[in-house]
Amino acid sequence: MLFTILESILVAIACCAASVDYVHALQAGRYQLPAYRQWLTRNRDRILKENVLWAFAAAAMKAYLPVLMSMFISVEQTRRAIANALVLVLFVALTGWVTWRDYSRPSKRPFVATKRVRRLLSVLLALCLVLSALFAVMKPTAIPVYFLFALMPFMVLLAAAIINPYETRLNASFFKSARRKIRERKDLITIGVTGSYGKTNVKFILRDMLSAKYNVLATPASFNTAMGVSRVINDQLKREHQVFIAEMGATHVGDIKELVDLVRPKYGILTSIGPRHMDTFGSMENIASTKFELIQGLPREGFAVFGSGDDYIRRLYALCRHDKCRIGLDGDDGAFMRAEGIAFSDKGTTFNMVCADGESARCRTRLLGTYNVKNILLAAALARKLGLSMEEIAAKTKELTPIEHRLQLTSGEFTMIDDTLNEDADSAFEAMRVIAQMPGRRIVVTPGLGEQGGKEADVNYALGTVMADSADAVILVGRRAFTRSIIRGMMQSGFSRSNLHTADDMDDASEILSEVADAGDTVLFESRIPDYEEYNA
């Protein structure tokens, strides 16, 4: 009886801990139950292979291990006790490994153990304890408690459904408090930043630039929802802050409008429009109209800054009735702020920043990539509007630090560019354009690009053709199905087979790299490489 109680408690705790990836998926979907159910549908094969099969395997071991042990132990009670203890230890070890794997896995939107998550986990643990106890006492034959592991994806859904009414009431009070605090600050300069790509980078670049003249508060990296921004306003906004910059994320039509109602921005930056969160938006038109909610919500005297490079941005710029400007690159004379003569090197990026008011400045930054130059231009355009000189903007540009694993430039025996958090094709092609301008031999280490909406073969073939023109040597890591597409693209573009290497894992790749890379070379680590963190530690 004592072991049954202990087994029920430990299995419940282990299952709850091993559900971190499901809680993370719920958090990434902004705790929207329909979005989480869609995620479960997309990942049903993984749930079957891991949770269901492993749960049945543990139950089978508990049932049949005593039979196998009868060959060595004659006393039934003894062999059953040993078998039960062994299965429990193995199960706890397995779920512990799953917890560590899922918690440490790199992610574009990292898991954060917020107060809401902790409340959810408390409800989840209570449900697991109740269900495991019911499994143990059900008669005439108890259901193996390990079956609980098969139900965990749906237990997270149930826990969220139970706690959501409370969270909704709590969030409403936080939102009202934050909105009242903003409305009381008539002197506060409020800025909203949104877009499908680049909004986080632009927010931090703008914060650093404006710090030359103002006391600035910006929302942290993962705080771009109504509740996240409300928390920042309530907890961090002080009387001495002169500027508040809010990143505005969205997964549904109306999300930006809610944030505009909260922050009441006087200035807005729209970075780009792209096919992010198509599963919840349904169409590019819905994405564009939702992002445009920021511009529509500006006051009559508001000012809007637009990005460049896509038809939707041009269309929305034309629709904007506020005072506005846009950015551009070489030759775009209609841009308020543009970059000319962009060049990449092992020291970073250099370019001339030219403003339509006739002023210009020579800029140098450790950030790499044309998209980072565009992000700088977006921030610079608004900084100029808010009174900064071109010299002040250029000085702050020089101080900008790269975001980890996003074309992050580091120096050592050889120049290293870390782009391992990228899985976007356009960004990968941009990384190839960057390395093509680097000194020494240019070496690319990559597993290729996964999850390209069913177009993995075509996208990786195109990546191979671009790598053939940009790199002197390539190391492909892992034996993925689309690796052949990369090789085919490279070979058909005339790349030398002797400079193409394949590695089973990062350890294998590092051995190859030590043979082919010399001092002064440049190595680009592109896309999510298994075990890269351990290699780079």
Q: Give the span between the Cα atoms of 91 and 103, in whole angstroms.
A: 18
Lowest mean pLDDT among 43-52, 146-155, 344-353, 525-534: 525-534
Q: Give the span between the Cα atoms of 44 and 518, in whole angstroms.
A: 46
Consecutive H or E run containing 196: none
Locate the DSSP E strands across 70-173. Answer: none
Could you write out the three-class secondary structure of 394-444? HHHHHHCCCCCCCCEEECCCCEEEEECCCCCHHHHHHHHHHHCCCCCCEEE
pLDDT of residue 139: 54
- pLDDT tens figures, 386-405: 999 999 999 999 999 988 88
Please determine, for residue 534, whether its predicted confidence score (pLDDT) is greater than 60. Answer: no
Cβ contacts of 239 within 8 Å, gap of 6 or more: none
pLDDT of residue 245: 98
Taking the domains of the chain in order of start, what are their residue ranges?
A: 2-168, 185-399, 408-536
Residue 428 vs residue 48, higher pLDDT: 428
> Where residue 270 falls among pLDDT bands split at 50, 70, 90?
very high
Domain 185-399 belongs to what architecture?
3-Layer(aba) Sandwich (3.40)
pLDDT of residue 143: 73
pLDDT of residue 254: 92
Yes or no: say if 293 and 263 are a contact pair by the CB < 8 Å rule.
no
For the segment 218-235, the average pLDDT, to the nearest whole number, is 91
For the segment 475-489, the average pLDDT, to the nearest whole number, is 89
pLDDT of residue 306: 97
**Contacts from 90-96 at CB under 8 Å and sequence distance 24+?**
90/58, 90/61, 91/11, 91/14, 91/58, 91/146, 91/149, 92/10, 92/11, 92/14, 94/54, 95/14, 95/15, 95/17, 95/18, 95/149, 96/14, 96/17, 96/18
Please determine, for residue 466, whether its predicted confidence score (pLDDT) is greater than 90. Answer: yes
Chain-wide mean pLDDT for the chain? 90
Residue with tokens 């920043």, as numbered in its chain? 353
For the segment 275-288, the average pLDDT, to the nearest whole number, is 84
Asked if the domains at 185-399 and 408-536 fall in one CATH topology, the answer is: no
CATH hierarchy code of domain 408-536: 3.90.190.20
